[in-house]
């Protein structure tokens, strides 16, 4: 086969600040998927994109080419309208767990393709795999059956969905190009558009525990993704939400499932419940089901029923005890004062060090590992009061985790309390 272009000419065009043509984009994404363009060549192009950016047309075409590299799912046979949610990731971000069954209980179908954690951010599939018997990998037919029967499914994306993204995502992770907004936006949206939901709500995190630490960068990413979704015929809305402090009171796997169950039972931490309900309202509004108040379904048990049905449909036992770590250690205040800082990034790194996350994709995670914090930023504490509890099966992990946590949870004077972001900073789109 005679190739239409050479990788070098495409790299040079972007390196020198030029716009790539539709034909160049279609070719380079397809040729990379086929193995014609080598990893080192795509790495050079990714760096050129990071440094020089892309126009809206280029990003849209790049996303379309990524979708075209694989299959598209079709949910048109479902009686319910389909709506999905995607979070850009954070610490203690267990929102998908109560949200998907809640929105399903309100009458929508939620095809939630989720991922695993890497580094300091947790992964939804890792959390759910702490439930005995629960299965992350489903065929497309199995996914459709669960959606038809239950209304919600949380599972891993199949290999056939945007395979170009799978290759490029792994490459970006090891070449310092993760932060390129055109590549983040096209990575997320290629999978979400190929997934086939009629509407999408994006939860774009900002703050120390998020990939987009600066709110303006988070808004730029949100606007880019909303444009991509709407251009592709998917009704897309984005919320910019806070990730300067971690969500809820836990970061880990099984301990986050337990906290999600508290929310599904009508309780749980107020921030987790609030964000779950806010996102549910936006999702339901996007598909015309906003006559129902999702908060009522958390309180009357219907969302919990939906959760149990979803877990059972994927082979899990919703009534089985969750795994617990073999070892724990408490962190106490060494003085009287006020919690001046509860930093999401530091808490996330501590949970990762304890075994809740992975450094490489192939690493295993501990179901019971993680961090529980017992205080909130701005709260007054006394010497000896428990600030946090650390959990792991491997106690040799405690010292490094304690070092990270010592800088993440600090006690001092009232005037030194860090300013906290509002839970929802902005809304972009419908």
- State the CATH number of the domain containing residue 176: 3.40.1030.10
Please check whether residue 352 lies inside any domain of the structure: yes
Please check whether residue 75 lies inside any domain of the structure: no
| Same domain assignment for residues 22 and 126 | no
Please check whether residue 105 lies inside any domain of the structure: yes
Look at residue 336 and tell me whether its pLDDT is greater than 90: yes
Tens of pLDDT, residue by residue over 337-376, are 999 999 999 999 999 999 998 877 677 899 999 999 999 9
Can you tell me the mean pLDDT for 103-119? 89
Residue 221 vs residue 172, higher pLDDT = 221
Q: What is residue 158's predicted lDDT score, i.e. its pLDDT?
A: 79
| Same domain assignment for residues 140 and 287 | yes
Can you tell me the mean pLDDT for 121-133? 91
By the 8 A CB rule, do 424 and 278 touch? yes
At residue 110's C-alpha, the angle toward residues 105 and 156, to 5°, is: 130
At residue 231's C-alpha, the angle toward residues 224 and 57, to 5°, is: 65
> pLDDT class for 135, splitting at 50, 70, 90?
very high
Please check whether residue 426 lies inside any domain of the structure: no
Look at residue 119 and tell me whether its pLDDT is greater than 80: no
Please check whether residue 204 lies inside any domain of the structure: yes
| Same domain assignment for residues 253 and 398 | no
Task: Single out the residue in 269, 291, 320 at which a domain terminates.
Answer: 320
Nearest residue to 157 via CA among 100, 118, 114, 188: 114
Nearest residue to 313 via CA among 139, 156, 134: 134
Residues 6+ apart with CB under 8 A from 270: none
Q: What is residue 169's predicted lDDT score, i.e. its pLDDT?
A: 85
- Full-model pTM: 0.94
Could you give the C-alpha distances from 297 to 131, 203, 293, 361, in angstroms and in order? 23, 22, 7, 37
By the 10 Å C-beta count (0-12 exposed, 13-18 middle, 19+ buried), 358 is classed as middle
Q: What is residue 161's predicted lDDT score, i.e. its pLDDT?
A: 84
> pLDDT class for 124, splitting at 50, 70, 90?
very high
First to last CA, the chain: 45
Please check whether residue 88 lies inside any domain of the structure: yes
Dihedral of alpha carbons 38, 41, 45, 47, sign: positive
User: How is residue 158 written in tokens?
Assistant: 């199949």
Q: What is residue 117's predicted lDDT score, i.e. its pLDDT?
A: 73
User: How is residue 146 written in tokens?
Assistant: 């669960």
User: How is residue 77 written in tokens?
Assistant: 């046979």
- State the CATH number of the domain containing residue 30: 1.20.970.10
| Same domain assignment for residues 92 and 140 | yes
Look at residue 118 and tell me whether its pLDDT is greater than 70: no
| Same domain assignment for residues 335 and 316 | no
Tens of pLDDT, residue by residue over 157-166, are 877 888 998 8
| Same domain assignment for residues 43 and 168 | no
Considering the chain, what percentage of its residues have pLDDT values greater than 90?
Answer: 86
What integer best gives the mean pLDDT of the chain?
94
| Same domain assignment for residues 238 and 384 | no
Q: How many domains does the chain have?
A: 3
Q: Say what the alpha-carbon torsion angle 153, 158, 161, 162 is, to the nearest 10 degrees.
A: 120
Please check whether residue 132 lies inside any domain of the structure: yes
Task: Single out the residue in 301, 320, 339 at which a domain terminates.
Answer: 320
Please check whether residue 71 lies inside any domain of the structure: no
Task: Single out the residue in 320, 343, 370 at which a domain terminates.
Answer: 320
By the 8 A CB rule, do 378 and 420 touch? yes
Range of the domain at 334: 327-416
| Same domain assignment for residues 46 and 125 | no
Using CA atoms, how far apart are residues 417 and 55, in angstroms rounded to an integer?
41
Residues with catalytic roles: 86, 165, 172, 187, 191
| Same domain assignment for residues 137 and 87 | yes
β-bridge partners, 155: 113
Q: What is residue 116's predicted lDDT score, i.e. its pLDDT?
A: 79
Least-confidence region, from 150-159, 295-304, 305-314, 385-394: 150-159
The beta-strand segments (E) located in 150-269 are 152-156, 199-206, 235-242, 250-252
Q: What is residue 97's predicted lDDT score, i.e. its pLDDT?
A: 97
Q: What is residue 151's predicted lDDT score, i.e. its pLDDT?
A: 97
Residues 6+ apart with CB under 8 A from 1: none
Tens of pLDDT, residue by residue over 80-89, are 999 999 999 8
| Same domain assignment for residues 172 and 271 | yes
For 425, the enclosing helix (H) or strand (E) is strand 424-429
Nearest residue to 49 via CA among 171, 231, 205: 171
Tens of pLDDT, residue by residue over 259-292, are 999 999 999 999 999 999 999 999 999 999 988 8
Considering the chain, what percentage of its residues have pLDDT values greater than 70?
Answer: 99
Could you give the C-alpha distances from 194 to 104, 158, 161, 231, 411, in angstroms and in order? 21, 11, 7, 13, 47
């Amino acid at each position: 086969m005679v190739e239409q272009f050479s990788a070098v000419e495409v790299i040079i065009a972007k390196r020198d600040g030029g716009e790539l043509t539709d034909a160049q984009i279609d070719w380079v994404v397809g040729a990379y998927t086929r193995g014609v363009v080598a990893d080192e060549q795509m790495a050079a192009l990714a760096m050129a994109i990071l440094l020089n950016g892309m126009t809206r047309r280029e990003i849209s075409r790049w996303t379309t080419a990524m979708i075209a590299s694989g299959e598209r799912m079709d949910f048109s046979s479902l009686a319910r309208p389909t709506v999905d949610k995607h979070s850009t990731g954070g610490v203690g971000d267990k929102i998908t767990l109560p949200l998907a069954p809640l929105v399903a209980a309100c009458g929508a179908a939620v095809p939630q393709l989720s991922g695993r954690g890497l580094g300091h951010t947790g992964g939804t599939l890792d959390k759910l795999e702490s439930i005995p018997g629960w299965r992350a990998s489903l065929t497309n037919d199995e996914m459709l059956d669960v959606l038809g029967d239950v209304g919600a499914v949380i599972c891993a994306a199949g290999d056939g969905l945007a395979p170009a993204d799978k290759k490029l995502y792994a490459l970006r992770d090891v070449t310092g190009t993760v932060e390129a907004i055109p590549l983040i936006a096209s990575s997320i949206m290629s999978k979400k558009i190929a997934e086939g939901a009629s509407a999408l709500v994006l939860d774009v995190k900002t703050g120390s525990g998020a990939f987009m630490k600066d709110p303006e960068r988070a808004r730029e990413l949100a606007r880019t993704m909303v444009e991509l979704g709407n251009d592709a015929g998917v009704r897309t809305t984005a919320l910019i939400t806070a990730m300067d402090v971690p969500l809820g009171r836990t970061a880990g796997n099984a301990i986050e499932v337990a906290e999600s169950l508290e929310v599904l039972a009508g309780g749980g931490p107020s921030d987790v419940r609030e964000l779950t309900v806010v996102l549910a309202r936006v999702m339901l509004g996007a598909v015309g089901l906003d006559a129902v108040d999702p908060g009522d379904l958390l309180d009357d048990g219907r969302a919990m029923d939906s959760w149990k049905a979803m877990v059972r449909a994927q082979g899990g036992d919703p009534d089985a005890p969750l795994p617990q770590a073999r070892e724990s250690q408490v962190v106490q205040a060494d003085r009287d004062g006020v919690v001046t800082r509860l930093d999401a990034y530091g808490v996330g790194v501590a949970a990762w060090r304890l075994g809740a996350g992975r450094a490489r994709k192939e690493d295993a995670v501990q179901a019971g590992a993680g961090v529980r914090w017992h205080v909130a930023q701005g709260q007054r504490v006394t010497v000896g009061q428990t600030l946090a509890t650390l959990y792991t099966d491997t106690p040799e992990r405690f010292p490094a985790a304690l070092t990270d946590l010592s800088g993440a949870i600090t006690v001092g004077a009232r005037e030194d309390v860090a300013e906290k972001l509002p839970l929802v900073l902005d809304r972009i789109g419908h």
